[in-house]
Structure 1
Amino acid sequence: MSDPIIKINNLHLSLEGGAGRVNILRGIDLTVARSETLSIVGPSGAGKTTLLMALAGLEQISAGEITIAGTRLSGLSEDELARFRREQIGIVFQSFHLIPTMTALENVALPLEFSAVPDPRGRALEALAATGLEQRAAHFPGQLSGGEQQRVALARAFVSRPALILADEPTGNLDQETGHKVMELLFNLQQDQGTTLILITHDLNLAQRCQRTIRMADGQLDHIDWAAA
């Protein structure tokens, strides 16, 4: 694979639980190309979200290596990890994770303000316009529908033009029609910016829209050949 953006080598992640140590990720190896779209499917508890959080530097791994855009995550301090996330990674959750006391515009501008980017509000308004929400920029999350809140979350994820988008069941809290519109927008933004996308979904039809799909079970990965499935 030429010019990979993600390299995961022998990744392990274990956590202490009430019954002792639990192995959540068990020897993950994965390479993802720049601009690739990759879906991850599998049962609840398989480790899908934990893998995404490890890629974002939000879960501390127990062994192995994660390298993103040439940067080895284990070599970064907490401050460096936070800066790396702001500059290189956008995250879209099932829950929208918008700050309720901030307007849509302020929510989208926030990561740019942390990075001291010039004209953060101007860029945030452009990002909202790309999601069709420029007329709702002054509204607070509580004044927006679920679909609108997720579109604000998409604008926030893409506003810094990150190299990587991590999306964890982004339509999980939406009805089918609204979810379809949100996913169309997500794929359009990904294509426009050439961003690498890793998508966790239980929807196999949605998974097949990605260039590659892997199945996760018991903390391990398997490739899915749709032609043979």
Structure 2
Amino acid sequence: MTRSQTAAPAFELVEAALTLGSRAGRVEILRGVTLEVARGETVGVVGPSGSGKSSLLMLMGGLEQATGGAVRALGEDLTAMDEDALARFRRDHMGVVFQSFHLIPTMTALENVATPLELAGRADAFDRAAEELKAVGLGARLDHYPGQLSGGEQQRVALARAAAPRPEILLADEPTGNLDGVNGEAIMDMLFGLRERHGATLIMVTHAPELAARCDRTIRVADGLLAEDSAREAAE
């Protein structure tokens, strides 16, 4: 890691904008968001459907390119990177968990978690993958394929895959959206547990206020703008 990355916040967004084309013309998804997130901070992103909160997460992960303003992660300018550079940056510094699990159906749980590590050149890919799967309670399911796992178990595999590289940043987009209440609560406990174990910065998009309340800060997005930014009250 470079000196600038060590000193920099996890994220710095300055008037970040996202405009996309459609049959009806250009649509402003994000209309100038300025935001700073400290390293190690946990941030819940809330707002109504269509407000731009998932798009904001995509900008922060370099999965969408800002059409205006600046997006920096760990001191690096994501808006100046091409797709290959962004992919390498995510591989080396970020873990991403989606509402849909995005597992490879022809690979076992162990292979799904180990493959990104192998691509990154990790010699201990399978040992580390097994360790992370055990940490999310799937030590007995290493050789099972996604089709043999429940939705909650598949999301646990996705969590293990995101955490295995020991990323400095964890991004989660509605990680409990496809799960029932019991499984959703278990997944959130695991997500925060992984974050605490590895000391990562966590940014989580959610519709559930009780989940956002577990974060250090909650930011509300409305109509493509940052409408509210509030820190969690200290426990008495």
| TM-score exceeds 0.5 | yes
**Equivalent in the alignment of 1:10:** 15
1:191: Cα distance to partner?
0.7
- Matched residues in 2 for 1:167 and 1:41: separation? 12
1:104 — aligned with what?
109
SS of 2:107's partner is: coil
Which residue identity does 2:130 align to in structure 1? L
* Number of aligned residues: 226
Equivalent in 153, 156, 159 of residue 154 of structure 1: 159
State the one-letter code of the partner of 2:16.
L
1:36 aligns with 2:30: no
Q: Secondary structure at the match of 1:23?
A: strand
Query: Partner letter of residue 12 of structure 2?
Result: K
Residue 48 of structure 1: which of 46, 53, 62 is its match? 53
Which string of whole-angstrom CA distances, capped at 9 and with x for unpartnered residues, describes residues 44-78 of structure 1?
00011111111111112111111111111122222
Paired AA for residue 114 in structure 2: A
Cα 1:16–1:133, aligned 2, differ >3 Å: closer, same or farther? Answer: same
Partner Cα distance (1:203, 1:223) in 2: 16
Query: Are positions 1:193 and 2:205 aligned together?
Result: no
1:70 has 2:75 as partner: yes
Question: Within 2, Cα distance between the matches of 1:214 and 1:141?
Answer: 34
Q: Which residue of 2 aligns with 1:91?
A: 96
Is this contact kept in 1: 2:48–2:222, CA < 8 A?
yes
Unmatched 5+ stretches in structure 2: 1-6
- Shift in Å, 1:3: 4.8
Distance between the aligned counterparts of 2:140 and 2:74, measured in 1? 35
Deviant stretches of 4+, over 6 Å: none
Matches within 5 A, 1:166-205: 166-205=171-210
Q: What percentage of residue pairs aligned between the two structures are identical?
A: 56
